[in-house]
Structure 1
């Protein structure tokens, strides 16, 4: 494998003995033949594997795993959140995209916000609610490519919620412990039983969620969007001053969309088009392809500087152009074109950090879970689902065992902004599944959760795989850097070039070199994103799975 911008030769991933022996010793890449599920919680991954063994497709496994994740990792995801997916269907020989994100209430507008004196949309308020899209996404996936049926896929999640499960280390010590009852009174009855915060290792039960999921298993999405669950959502919204109505829920629809791609050194990387931020990954990679990244040392100052500068340029465009395409003309084709990347990349100074970056003219030139699954027929799915912030709005409707997301917090109240608040509109979304193909054949389902960071994670993993020849596991093990402070789709502009945050493993000498180049360096270390991936090899069919050591997760196969 050779770099398109140079002649640097690449060793073949997975089969290089020296690389295997010198790998970052966290976890091994998991290899199997018949099916695989990678997720941030082992109990959920096992539920997905059981669905495959029961004769289900990877679609059934993904729904089963996602539903279980909503039980065992409730701060990150659940039926109160939204969902996006990219699926490779072997018999059809192509990729399909699904946008199951919800829209704002019909009665929620800039005029109404002004009338109420609202100057910003508070997270812990029903004004931050959009219609949750997750359940509609499950139904569309199940009806089109599932074999088990939605009710069967929900059985493991119902059992986990009803019978209980031990809290894993990260969920017990970080997610639950971060929200004492006095900070989140509207979810305390569900997540703080007996007035106590469950701890790592405690058995946690959620009988209300078991009832909610059982109703969906019995009556389908109508139980959520038209039945007692819908009534409970609307009642809670009205009680707390929100705008959600039964009409909003009943009128919700998810949509099939065409994934979009950019070719990176012979590999096609696929993302979901806006209202999400996926195309910023393609913009970043298009610019980086113009440099011989593979000739550089991984995570050297030279390597990281180019990545950061490309990210800055892409995110400035993101702040201006990305929006719900039903409400704005989003120039996707132009933004992800090679010609536009060349024009933007000319603005990168290889020796100096930019502190004042402008968006281009393409017309001229939280918390989240990510999981993936694959089956014996060659089908693969990349799925991401989220409450947005941890525990979303922190509001559970009465009688419900889940929180409603706070994605509507991302609307702008600036009437000139593309992402301004409007009735029945999808907000800007951070959650993005990804997929990779080569020569029109499926190669990898992957994703990196982490809110605003996600495009940076996708780009770093892609470089690790393609430029540095790593395995799926090794690509996720490597230390990451995050650039914060770019101009935002929610408002605000970049000041002084933003700042860099590093994980453990980036040399202090590299940080100093970057500082000398003009980058602002944040104090301390941080943790960035949560990654899963499944790589496919054919003749014979095999899957190679990787999962992030930053999480409790597992890559399981058989």
Structure 2
């Protein structure tokens, strides 16, 4: 129970449906879909489409999508990998021949084919109940008639001003007189509205097979990318066999590689070997153990995780108890470990995650992303689409399993989460924020199951991220804790902005009560009825 003398949020409760997102408007749209008789997938698609308009630096139809689904309260969790692939004309030999040994964040070679629209349409075909055009209508309205820029969105938008200025099309869409909008500004995206209208009318083919695809490919080729219309047309999301681990009597589910969800599971396998329940959840000992678990789990990720269609990924070994025991042998309690094992390839970047549960018990854990703010910064003015930079997740090393190759998916950061307890869905959750996400998942689950926090407390709790030898800690953590961690050997850094962003809905199978929580570090909210 939170202390009502301090600022904070209460848990949002409902019986018939709930949604939590990082956009107030998206949550309102999702709840209206649920109240109108739509199901959780309908609400998730509609809400995400809105965020692709109103949070354009965080997500967009030029990005990717992953989802976990518990149909009608079933314990058989299903998952979709809707991430795009490298174009057929791109490989390591081409890049190395041009003297390129790293795909940078704004390189045209960082643009993988957008997978989001293909994922949305496949999810709708499998699970949706309302007309697809009706689900896109609120997003179209926002793009065509305007939306109000919120506070965190304005901050994130401004942080990408230089990237937008570097691309004429991006600047035409997202800058006015060379400047980003302030909070409270009304913004229109008429070109994006036209593209969404075409998708609403014609479905997937409007984006991947027709004139819109031709225009996008022309823009990418002009920037130096190797895409073809065939690359777009061949895009296909995949239903996948999920991976899981046990944590404090619960089963935690993740999308398998090429995603980094396995990193969160490795962290949990390490952390459950330590008795943390009696520790201060914001104390130096707890944050130290979490940092060491992250250090080793991320090292394993960067060595092994790749597209399993192109490389052998030893999933069973990585999730084994023996491997967790092996990693624990490299942890010295009370002392910072070798930072060489903390090499997350990016920091906490931009994504949107939302959680929805409907009256029939269907739970949808849904995440959509451009990767970094405004992705690659490369846009197509005629379509209103700005392209992700997921290809920066590749390495240009022909001996590495995650080496760039034609039609290959890069190591991917976005990871929706789901938990079952005694075979029944009990938690639909996610924590956005680029490479931070596995740490965020492990952090909130430990908050719930080790420290007994409610869902809102678990999200509110101050965060830390051990990244490339630096322990980033939010400024709300006590100075004494920072000093103790520094004495352990950590280099401490206070990030400019609070890290990550989580949404969560807990489901009580006995009472039917839904308990929803939303990230205070973002502009959204949890709503239920």
The aligned residue for residue 346 of structure 2 is none
SS at match of 1:44: helix
Given the alignment of the two structures, is residue 142 of structure 1 paired with residue 124 of structure 2, yes or no?
A: yes
CA distance in 1, matches of 2:124, 2:494: 47
- 1:334 paired residue number: 317
Change (3 A) 1:307 1:224: same
Give 3-state SS (helix, strand or coil) of 1:293's partner.
Answer: coil
Cα 1:217–1:526 shift into 2, 3 Å: closer
1:404 maps to what in 2? 387
Q: CA deviation at 1:22?
A: 6.5
In 1: Cα distance, 2:220 partner to 2:487 partner: 51
Distance apart, 1:182 and its partner CA: 3.1
Task: Check conservation: 2:312, 2:401, Cα contact below 8 A.
Answer: no
Q: CA deviation at 1:356?
A: 5.9
Give 1:420 shift: 0.8
**Segment drifting more, 523-532 vs 125-134:** 523-532
Distance in 1, Cα, partners of 2:89 & 2:191? 29
1-structure distance, mates of 2:106, 2:476: 36
Provide TM-score, normalisation by structure 1: 0.91
Q: Which of 486, 504, 517 is residue 546 of structure 1 equivalent to?
A: 517
Q: Does the Cα contact within 8 Å between 2:369 and 2:414 map onto a contact in 1?
A: yes
* Structure 1 pair 280–213 and aligned structure 2 pair: CA distance change class (3 A): same
In structure 2, the partner of 1:72 is: 54
2:507 equivalent to 1:536: yes
Change over 3 Å in CA distance of 1:409–1:75 after alignment to 2: same
CA contact (8 A) 2:60 2:370 kept: yes
Q: Closer, same or farther in 2 for the Cα pair 1:137/1:319, shift >3 Å?
A: same
The structure-2 alpha-carbon separation of the partners of 1:524 and 1:150, relative to structure 1 and needing over 3 Å to count, comes to: closer
Counterpart in 2 of 1:522? 493
Which residue pairs with 1:274 in the alignment?
Answer: 257
Residues 92/518 of structure 1: CA separation in 2 closer, same or farther (3 Å cut): closer
Q: Which residue of 1 aligns with 2:479?
A: 508
Of the three residues 90, 94, 102, the one matched with 1:112 is: 94
Relative to structure 1, the CA distance from residue 557 to residue 524 in structure 2 (aligned partners, 3 Å threshold; closer, same or farther) is closer
Residues in 2 aligned to 1:43 and 1:358: alpha-carbon distance in whole angstroms: 40
**CA offset digits 1:357-384 (Å, max 9, x no partner):** 669xxxxxx2111111010000001111
Q: Deviations over 1:288-325 (max 9, x none)?
A: 11111101111211111111111111111111110000
Whole-angstrom CA distance in 1 between matches of 2:247 and 2:494: 33
Q: Could you say which residue in structure 2 is the equivalent of 1:13?
A: none
Report if the CA contact (8 A) 2:20-2:526 is conserved. yes
Q: Please say if residues 267 and 437 of structure 1, whose CA atoms lie closer than 8 Å, have aligned partners that are also in contact.
A: yes
Show CA shifts across 1:331-368 (max 9, x none): 11121122321222132111221126669xxxxxx211
Shift of 1:504: 2.1
- Return the offset for 1:177: 5.5
Distance change in 2, residues 1:113/1:93 (3 Å): same
Residue 175, structure 1, aligned to residue 146, structure 2: no
Contact 1:411 1:427 (C-alpha < 8 Å) held by counterparts: yes
Q: Is the 8 A contact 1:24 1:478 kept in 2?
A: no
SS at match of 1:313: helix
Q: d(CA) in 1 for partners of 2:496 and 2:143?
A: 35
Please state how far the C-alpha of 1:91 moved relative to its aligned partner. 6.3
Measure, in 1, the Cα distance between the counterparts of 2:56 and 2:76.
33
Distance 1:298 1:525 in 2: 22
- For residues 272-421 of structure 1, the aligned pairs below 5 Å read 272-355=255-338, 366-421=349-404
Equivalent-residue separation in structure 1 for 2:176 and 2:4 (angstroms): 47
Change (3 A) 1:179 1:273: same
Does the residue aligned with 1:533 lie in a helix, a strand or coil?
strand
The corresponding residue for 2:112 is 130
Contact 2:456–2:517 (8 Å) recurs in 1: yes
Distance 1:116 1:203, change over 3 A: same
**CA displacement 1:69-113 (0-9 Å, x = unmatched):** 000001111110001111111265411010000000100011221
2:503 is paired with a residue of what secondary structure? strand
| 1:160-239 to 2 correspondences below 5 Å | 160-176=142-158, 178-180=160-162, 182-193=165-176, 195-239=178-222
Deviations 1:160-197 (A, max 9, x none): 11110111011123314631553343301111246543
**1:250 matched to which residue of 2?**
233
> Which residue does 1:81 correspond to in 2?
63
Contact map agreement 2:374 2:388 (CA 8 A) in 1: yes
Q: Could you tell me how far 1:232 is from its partner in structure 2?
A: 0.8
TM-score (norm 2): 0.95
Equivalent residue, structure 2, for 1:443: 426
The Cα shift of 1:398 comes to 3.3
Residue in structure 2 matched with residue 4 of structure 1 by the alignment: none
Q: Secondary structure of 1:97's match?
A: strand
Distance (Å, rounded) in 2 between the aligned partners of 1:285 and 1:24: 31
The 3 A distance-change label for structure 1 pair 254 and 524 is: closer
2:446 corresponds to = 463
Task: Indicate the RMSD between aligned Cα atoms, in angstroms.
Answer: 1.7
Q: CA deviation at 1:388?
A: 0.7
* Unmatched segments (≥5 aa) in structure 1: 1-18, 360-365, 486-497
Greater displacement, 233-242 / 320-329: 233-242
